[in-house]
Amino acid sequence: MEGINRALKDQKINKAWRTLESVSTDDVPSIFISYQRKDEEYAKDVSGYIVSKQLDVYFDLEDNDLKFSKQLNNPKGVTTSIQKGLNESDYMLVIISPDTYKSLWVPFEVGYAYDSMGDNLKLLRHKDIDKTSLPSYLKVKEMLNGTESLNRFLDSIRKKHLIYESLLEKGEKIKTFSSYYSNPLSKYLDNE
């Protein structure tokens, strides 16, 4: 079983597939991916990596309501779509890159989810960002500094939500995390 992108509006197909596999969407935690638009490729790779590890994501590129609101230049619709994605997610992963500081939406997303997500809000630092250069309000959140810390985070989610046990009960294989050198995210992340 792979994870899914919950931003896809064709959730009926996703939910039907999950039902056939005897796994409820409610049983699989979802991670909201927050990123600056210039980091789209990086965010897409991170999203794909998480989905391949049998967890769900909310990755906005597939959210048709959000796309439509942007096309209509409807900031209320954009805001509503983002809030819905955050409200339906269990975790938030903020991609911090050199371009993040130019984003208008990342601070909104972080501010909206800051209290409600609590310790479930994590930062994923691009290897080109100095650990000490973050704004003060982000320094109080846990920083994932590379592939190893990202893998530990994803593994902790799977353990917390008993995904291992439910997959094993169904005869599924548990996907293990790759080494740093074969990890598809090594072009963005250190091995920490």
Q: What is the pLDDT of residue 16?
A: 47
Note whether residue 184 is domain-resident: no
Note whether residue 191 is domain-resident: no
Contacts within 8 Å (CB) and 24+ apart, 64-73? 64/9, 65/9, 66/7
The conformation of residue 146, written as its DSSP 8-state character, comes to B
Note whether residue 53 is domain-resident: yes
pLDDT at 164 over 60: no
The whole domain housing 96 covers 11-169
Note whether residue 60 is domain-resident: yes
> Are the CB atoms for 22 and 170 separated by under 8 Å?
yes
Q: What is the pLDDT of residues 4-47, one digit of tens each?
A: 778 775 554 454 444 445 445 567 899 999 999 999 999 999 99
Q: How far apart are CA 88 and CA 11, in angstroms?
A: 13
Note whether residue 134 is domain-resident: yes
* The total number of structural domains that make up the chain: 1
Q: What is the CATH number of the domain that holds 151?
A: 3.40.50.450
pTM confidence score: 0.79
Mean pLDDT for 128-147 is: 87
Note whether residue 66 is domain-resident: yes
